[in-house]
Amino acid sequence: MPFNSLLYLFFLAVTALVFARLKSGKAQQIWLLLAGCLFVGYFSWASLTAILLITAGNYILMKRYNGLPSQRSKNILFCSMLFVNGFLLLGYKFLQEFLGWNEWLLLGMGFYILQHAGNWIALHFAGYDSSRQSNSYFLSVLFFPKIPSGPLLSAKDVALFQPGEKYITRGKDVVYAVNRITLGLVKKMVIADRLLPFVQEIFDKHTALSVFDIYLGSILFTVQLYADFSGYIDIALGSARLFGISLPENFQLPLRAQSVTDFWRKWHITLVAWLRNNVFQPVSFAYRKSTYGLLMAIGVTFLVSAFWHGLAITFFIWALLHFIYLTLEKKSGAAGKKGKNFFGKLIRAVIVLNLVSVAHFFFRAGNWNGLTTLLQQLAELPPLLPEGATFKTWLINGGRYIEDTLNVRLGMLLAAAWIIFEPRINKSAKSEELNIAYSALMFFLLLSIGIFDAGERFIYMQF
Sign for the CA dihedral angle at 86, 92, 96, 97 comes to positive
- What is the tens place of the pLDDT at every residue in 110-154? 788 888 999 999 888 888 888 777 788 898 889 999 888 888 888
Say what the pTM is. 0.88
Question: 34-42 long-range CB contacts below 8 Å, 24 or more apart?
Answer: 35/11, 35/144, 36/139, 36/142, 36/143, 36/144, 36/147, 37/142, 38/11, 39/1, 39/11, 39/144, 39/147, 40/107, 40/142, 40/144, 40/147, 42/1
- Tell me the chain's radius of gyration from C-alpha atoms: 23
- What is the tens place of the pLDDT at every residue in 446-463? 887 777 765 555 565 555
**Per-residue pLDDT at 401:** 44
Q: How far apart are CA 157 and CA 236, in angstroms?
A: 15
Highest mean pLDDT among 336-345, 397-406, 429-438, 444-453: 429-438
Residue 187 · residue 237 · CB < 8 Å: no
* 3-state SS track over 183-232: HHHHHHHHHHHHHHHHHHHHHCCCCCCCHHHHHHHHHHHHHHHHHHHHHH
**Per-residue pLDDT at 460:** 56
**Per-residue pLDDT at 407:** 65
Q: Minimum mean pLDDT among 18-32, 226-240, 434-448: which range?
A: 434-448
Tell me how many degrees the CA angle 202-105-33 measures, rounded to the nearest 5.
120
- What is the tens place of the pLDDT at every residue in 241-262? 999 888 999 999 999 999 999 9
- More confident call, 429 vs 394: 429
Average pLDDT score, the chain: 83
**Per-residue pLDDT at 4:** 83
- What is the tens place of the pLDDT at every residue in 159-201? 788 776 778 888 888 999 999 999 999 999 888 888 888 888 7
Residue 1 · residue 42 · CB < 8 Å: yes
Helical spans, DSSP H, in 99-192:
109-126, 134-142, 171-186
**Per-residue pLDDT at 458:** 54
Q: Is 117 helix (H, G, I), strand (E, B) or coil?
A: helix
Of the candidates 173, 176, 219, the residue with the CA atom closest to the CA atom of residue 351: 219
203: left (phi over 0), alpha (psi -120 to 50) or beta: alpha
Please return the burial class of 13, using the count of CB atoms within 10 Å of its CB with bins 0-12, 13-18 and 19+: exposed
Q: Minimum mean pLDDT among 95-109, 217-231, 401-415: which range?
A: 95-109
Give per-residue burial for 25-57: e unless 16+ CB within 10 Å, then b. beebbebbbebbbebbebbbeebbebbeebbee
